[in-house]
Structure 1
Amino acid sequence: MKSKTINIAVLLAALFSLVSCLDTNDGDYVYTDDSAVTAFSVTSAKKTVHVKASNGADSVYTTSVKLSAYKFVIDQQRCVIYNPDSLPYGVDPTKILVSANSVNSGSLVLKSMTSDSLSYLSTTDSLDFSKPRELQVYSLSGAAVRKYEVRVNVHQEPADKFNWTKLPNPTAFTSARGVKSFVVTTASGTTRRFLLASDGTTTTVYRADGDNAWTAATPNFNHPLAAETYRSAAVKHDTLFVCDNGVVMATTDGNTWTQQTTAEAGVARIIAANPIRLYAYNNEGVMLSSDDSGKTWKTASIDESASLLPNGDIAYATLPLATNPNAFRTLLIGSVPEASTTAFSVWGKIDEGTAYSENQPWMFYDHNSLNRHELPLLQNISAVAYDGKIMVMGNDERVFLPKFYTSCDGGITWQTDSVVTAPTGFFVSGAYTACVDSNNFLWVVNGNTGETWRGRTNRLGWKKEQYEYYE
Structure 2
Amino acid sequence: MRIKFLSVIVSLLFVSFAISSCLNDNNQVGEYSTDATIHAFALDTVHGKSYQFTIDQLKGEIYNLDSLPMGSDTIIDKILIKTLTTVSGAVILINKEGKDSIKDNVTQGLNTTDSVDFREPLKVKVMSMEAMNLMYQGISEDTYKKYTRRYTIEVRVHKQDPDSLNWGQAKGQQPAPLMKGFSGGAISGPQKAVILNKTIFVFSKTTASQVIAYKTLTDNPRGWTSTGTINGLPASVDLSSILNFKDQLYAVAEGIMYYSTDGTNWQKHTTLNDRKIASLLVGFPENQGNNLNKIIGIAAVSVDATDAKIHRFCFTNENATSWTETSDLGEVVADSFPRTNISATIFSNNTGVQGAMLMGTTTNERTEAVKPILPWGSYNGLSWADLYTQNAFCPILTLPSIIHYGKEFYAFGNEFDTFYTSVAGIAWYKANKKFYFPTELTARKGSEYSMVVDSNNFIWIICSKGLTGTDDVWRCRLNKLGFKEALTK
Secondary structure in 2 matching 1:231:
helix
Other-structure match for 2:132: 142
**What's the CA shift string for 1:407-451, capped at 9, x where partnerless?**
322x22223233432233012223222111111111101123311
Q: 1:162 aligns with which of 144, 151, 165?
A: 165
Q: 1:451 aligns with which of 468, 472, 478?
A: 472
Give me the whole-angstrom Cα distance separating, in 1, the residues matched to 2:447 and 2:58.
60
Other-structure match for 1:130: 120
- Does 1:84 pair with 2:93? no
Name which structure has the greater RCO, CA cutoff 8 Å, separation 6+: 2
Count of residue pairs brought into register by the alignment:
402
Equivalences for 1:304-453 in 2 at 5 Å? 306-321=334-349, 323-324=351-352, 328-336=354-362, 342-351=371-380, 361-369=382-390, 372-395=391-414, 400-409=415-424, 411-418=425-432, 419-426=434-441, 427-447=444-464, 448=466, 449-453=470-474
Give me the whole-angstrom Cα distance separating, in 1, the residues matched to 2:312 and 2:458.
35
Equivalences for 1:43-58 in 2 at 5 Å? 43=44
Gaps (5+ residues) in structure 2?
A: 1-23, 103-108, 134-146, 169-176, 286-295, 304-309
Other-structure match for 2:246: 237
The change in CA–CA distance for 1:172 and 1:298 in structure 2 (over 3 A counts) is farther
The change in CA–CA distance for 1:417 and 1:231 in structure 2 (over 3 A counts) is same
- Does 1:278 pair with 2:285? no
**What's the CA shift string for 1:226-272, capped at 9, x where partnerless?**
1x611222211232211112221112332122321476521122122
- Does 1:95 pair with 2:77? yes
Question: TM-score under structure 1 normalisation?
Answer: 0.73
Q: 1:207 aligns with which of 190, 202, 214?
A: 214
Secondary structure in 2 matching 1:313:
strand
Query: How large is the Cα RMSD of the aligned pairs?
Result: 3.7
- By how many angstroms is 1:323 displaced? 4.3
* % identical equivalent positions: 22
The change in CA–CA distance for 1:420 and 1:293 in structure 2 (over 3 A counts) is farther
Equivalences for 1:256-295 in 2 at 5 Å? 256-261=265-270, 265-275=275-285, 276-283=296-303, 284-291=310-317, 294-295=320-321
Other-structure match for 1:11: none
- By how many angstroms is 1:182 displaced? 1.4
The change in CA–CA distance for 1:321 and 1:137 in structure 2 (over 3 A counts) is farther
Secondary structure in 1 matching 2:167:
strand
Secondary structure in 2 matching 1:97:
coil
Secondary structure in 1 matching 2:481:
helix
Question: TM-score under structure 2 normalisation?
Answer: 0.70
Secondary structure in 1 matching 2:404:
strand
The change in CA–CA distance for 1:428 and 1:141 in structure 2 (over 3 A counts) is closer
The change in CA–CA distance for 1:414 and 1:116 in structure 2 (over 3 A counts) is same
- By how many angstroms is 1:103 displaced? 4.0
The change in CA–CA distance for 1:196 and 1:384 in structure 2 (over 3 A counts) is farther
1:431 alignment partner AA: E
- By how many angstroms is 1:453 displaced? 0.6
The change in CA–CA distance for 1:174 and 1:279 in structure 2 (over 3 A counts) is same
- By how many angstroms is 1:379 displaced? 0.5
Other-structure match for 2:141: none
The change in CA–CA distance for 1:223 and 1:115 in structure 2 (over 3 A counts) is closer
Secondary structure in 2 matching 1:307:
coil
Structure with max Cα Rg:
1
The change in CA–CA distance for 1:390 and 1:80 in structure 2 (over 3 A counts) is same
Gaps (5+ residues) in structure 1?
A: 1-23, 45-64, 352-359
The change in CA–CA distance for 1:32 and 1:223 in structure 2 (over 3 A counts) is closer
- By how many angstroms is 1:98 displaced? 3.6
Q: Is the 8 A contact 1:393 1:434 kept in 2?
A: no
- By how many angstroms is 1:307 displaced? 2.6
Secondary structure in 2 matching 1:374:
coil
Structure in which a larger fraction of residues adopt strand:
1
Q: Is the 8 A contact 1:310 1:336 kept in 2?
A: yes
Secondary structure in 2 matching 1:319:
strand
Other-structure match for 1:19: none
**What's the CA shift string for 1:16-54, capped at 9, x where partnerless?**
xxxxxxxx99x998685255434323337xxxxxxxxxx
